Chain A
């Protein structure tokens, strides 16, 4: 089935101020995609994301973000939660309700239907029972789910997440990624930025590698890009790609070869 294109970039140049990070990018995101943007820290991932969101103007080329019916694309943006101020005395429901504000527009007040939509979104991501709790008192995983609920409450066309698993433990990270995969299976387009390749590569259909200091931008199906030579170029170190069940695992070649701290051979050597 031919899926509708939501975002189309042509000959795109991205950067801040007078500083251009990357140019000549060609990118298309279709309805139902799960695209992961990965790369090293400071590689230009967030700059690309902010350009796609319209928060930064393109330095060259064009970004067209349109719904299939020609209407303006509605983003459900999940910002890095470290950027949120913990001094604000807001309940989880207050935070989720903000997801409706852009949809409401100026000079219109949230009504019962908006509160209902916010609560539905919280139920959908499994934090419905936390509505009255102060947002700042929630765990990292609960906060992340609440922010995803906020993005979903606005009934977006595309869910955009910036490093959603930062600072989370293994279980929390896995739960958030499972949730995103489930949301994507429900038909929602997902665009996610992460510096942690292992977090994204087993969930996303397509990957985009970004590394501006090498002028590197690679886009393609995850299976095509999860190859040692591509990852080695991206991370500037030899990488071994292996499989555990259905999951792909990438390790630095030196780490894969070296004995681990609990390796019996290493213990004998000591």
Chain B
């Protein structure tokens, strides 16, 4: 385990967020699986992604008066240097290599601001304003491969630009060190016109927009009328496809958004800033409170909505509230750990738990435990084997289904 426990300051927030997301999604997954709304959860995940990219696009429009275009064929972007506030980008951008890059010799003087920059220039520019490693996901290929031996030693060889190393070569290697802000970064932020003083409204914070999108989607999907000629799954599929398509379309209009969107969708970021962790904890606490207060109604309307309604339970309101609670967690957890692991935690731990137990409360507790364990273990395996964290967490959650199947087989069907 090269360097894992020596550098808890890097992964502490990310692992904690992952454990919380895994536990809460594991708990909610029981409702998702039992209510047969797995596709709805997938659609809400896409809506969360759409909310994030929309927030980025709106933020760019907000801080950059001129329209932003990105012709796909050129790979360049019209974006004023340092236009995106670092607070908007940094949480996703702090990867292990970015932290390492901060410890290397000071970067060369910043180039003169330009209206047209390539992705590489943009990343370098963001490095200079304190947003190092923007768009560098763990396990993704960077422009310059690592020098031979870098993976083994964990130390970049001379002449290899650390910030442009293949992330997987760095992730998990010895010598991972904590992030230290570059000397004079704040001053350069100010000089570049970006950084903390360029603020965007709170309502444009990606998590807030994602939550808004998901809540709206959850309400719309809950009140969608039933059509005789169209199955409900088709309506959900429509929502999923529209959201997925719009994520790509809107993402294509965000100059430095590609990697950011990838982070959100696949959960590849190594670390997490405290603000997002607190956001997730707040959302988890709110959802826990809602479920504590309305558990019996959620159970009744999920199991037997007709009798619940005949008994005076407000089934439609409870159905919407349950779906909104799932959506809020999808949005906040996706922003923190990525949509792929969140979707995995919403399905796989519940499947494993339902195979193992015949008690609802037992299944809820077991599913939450599996989700938390899969998240922590998946992250750890990603670290030691240099895998993308999001995919590692999803696959680890899937692995838990195997012993559950064995348990089911041993007990008989």
Residues of chain A whose beta carbon lies under 8 Å from any beta carbon of chain B: 53-55, 75, 77, 79, 83-85, 87-91, 94-95, 98-99, 101-107, 109-110, 134, 150, 154, 160
Contact = CB atoms under 8 A, between A and B. Distances in A.
20 contacts: A54-B310, A55-B306, A83-B306, A84-B303, A88-B302, A88-B303, A88-B360, A89-B354, A89-B363, A90-B360, A91-B358, A95-B303, A98-B303, A101-B296, A101-B297, A102-B308, A102-B310, A102-B311, A106-B297, A110-B296
Contacts of B359: 89, 91
A77 B307 contact: yes
Contacts of A95: 303
Nearest to B302: A88
Given A79-B304, A134-B358, A87 B34 contact: yes
Interface in B344-390: 354, 357-360, 362-363
B294 interface: yes
B63 interface: no
- Interchain residue pairs A-B with the least CB separation, the first 7: A102-B311, A77-B310, A102-B312, A134-B358, A53-B310, A89-B358, A77-B307
Given A85-B34, A106-B294, 4 more contacts: A79-B304, A91-B359, A101-B297, A109-B296
B180 interface: no
A154 B34 CA distance: 25
B73 to A, nearest CB: 50
Interface string B282-297: 0000000000011011
A77 B34 contact: no
B4 interface: no
A90 B34 CA distance: 12
B309 interface: yes
B360 A75 contact: no
Given A89-B359, A91-B359, A101 B313 contact: yes
Contacts of B303: 84-85, 88, 90, 95, 98
B360 A77 contact: no
A79 B308 CA distance: 10
Contacts of A54: 310
Nearest to A106: B297
Contacts of A103: 311
Interface of B: 33-34, 293-294, 296-297, 299-300, 302-304, 306-314, 354, 357-360, 362-363
Contacts of B312: 102, 105
A98 B360 contact: no
Interface residues of B, dominant DSSP? helix
A75 B313 CA distance: 12
Nearest to A134: B358
Contact of A101 (B300, B306, B354, B360): B300
A89 B365 CA distance: 13
A201 to B, nearest CB: 26
A74 B161 CA distance: 75
Contacts of A83: 304, 306
Nearest to A108: B296
A222 B33 CA distance: 46
A84 B304 contact: yes
Interface centre among A53, A101, A109, A154 (most CB of B within 10 A): A101
B310 A98 contact: no
Contacts of A84: 303-304
A104 B295 CA distance: 13
A53 B302 CA distance: 19
A110 B300 CA distance: 13
A160 B33 CA distance: 30
Contact of A77 (B296, B306, B358): B306
Nearest to B312: A102
B347 to A, nearest CB: 14
A130 to B, nearest CB: 14
A107 B362 CA distance: 23
Nearest to A80: B306
A129 to B, nearest CB: 17
Contacts of B299: 98
Interface centre among B297, B302, B307 (most CB of A within 10 A): B307
A89 B300 contact: no
Contacts of B33: 87
A180 B26 CA distance: 42
B313 to A, nearest CB: 6
A85 B360 CA distance: 13
Nearest to B362: A89
A99 B310 CA distance: 11
A232 B300 CA distance: 42
